[in-house]
Amino acid sequence: MKFLATGVAGFIGSSLANLFLNRGDEVIGIDNLNDYYDVKIKEARLDILRQNPRFTFCKVDISHRSDLSTIFLSHSFDTVVHLAAQAGVRYSMENPYAYIDANLVGFANVLEECRHHDIKHLVYASSSSVYGANARLPSSENDNTDQAMSLYAATKKANEVMAHSYSHLYQLPTTGLRFFTVYGPWGRPDMALFKFTRNILAGEPIPVYNDGEMIRDFTYIDDIVAGISLVVDGPAMKADELDNPPQPTPWKIYNIGNGRRVQLMDYIHMLEKQLGRKASLELLPMQDGDVPETEANIDSIVDDLGYHPKTDVNEGIAKFVSWYRDYYKISF
């Protein structure tokens, strides 16, 4: 099969492209290589992908409509996996226009190109952040998501609604995936595990918000991409609609998580064990836009597609630490 993967130099995008290429698929990958975090790690991810002759990379910003259109006109593919986005809850308070450009304008451009080029399935990244102030746990796809706690979350919720409109109006099959706290090798330097590891090895305090009273559904990167591939390979699912229209809307949302609650302090203790060093904690209040707990109800994707996460947190942290040591040439 032949895929377009946006955000291909990113953490999830590069991991997914590797999976597709290793099983014999062809991947057209696009990314704008912005400097939200160290571009060197993005280039290093691309260097691995470029070793495969079935991979083609184009530097494209999805918010630039004409450039994106050129990609769709120059290549043919049945499926688009849209992972390009401006990530990060806290950064959305510092630079809101980055989210408006990438997550709203960019997503609209992707929808339009898919509509006009007869794409068979658009699979796109949403986020567990859409659950916002909804206190019901574990979070289910049927829960209310109208109380966004950050602009980032609001843009992801908007993506789901925008996709539904295109699925309804144009019968464009779309599937949104709400990822829960992804971690693992080649991860983003702005995320907790990466920052914690860097600071502990440097002998610096690690920032621990809400005085450590946090719970997360940590999901290992291999389980995330396995879930995406199940969605991509399976049929586009119809929305569960009460009015049973003549043409059911080909729109679906899935949680992709580990389905297990992990206390943040337990997560830190696991990392300390792998590093062989004790962390110095800087206990801080809850950050604006954040939530104290996340946990995924994954029954829907398990029942529909047979998804089963395989990596427990201890194993996942050990694999990350091993990668970190190798990538940064650190011995301890």
Catalytic center residues? 152
Do 216 and 262 meet the contact criterion of CB atoms below 8 Å apart?
Answer: yes
Do 149 and 91 meet the contact criterion of CB atoms below 8 Å apart?
Answer: no
DSSP category for residue 279: P
How many CB atoms are located within 10 Å of the residue 283 CB? 12
Amino acid letter at 223? D
Half-sphere exposure of 276 (CA within 13 A, CB side): 4
Beta strand 215-216 with 206-209 is unpaired
Supply 259's token pair.
């389905």
Amino acid letter at 158? A
How many CB atoms are located within 10 Å of the residue 262 CB? 19
Kind plus residue range of the DSSP H or E element containing 111 = helix 106-116
Kind plus residue range of the DSSP H or E element containing 4 = strand 2-6
- B/e letters for 121-159, b = 16+ CB within 10 Å, e = fewer, are bbbbbbbbbbbbebeebbbebeeebeebbbbbbbbbbbb
Rounded to whole angstroms, the Cα distance separating 159 from 109 reads 12
Supply 166's token pair.
């295109």
How many CB atoms are located within 10 Å of the residue 97 CB? 11
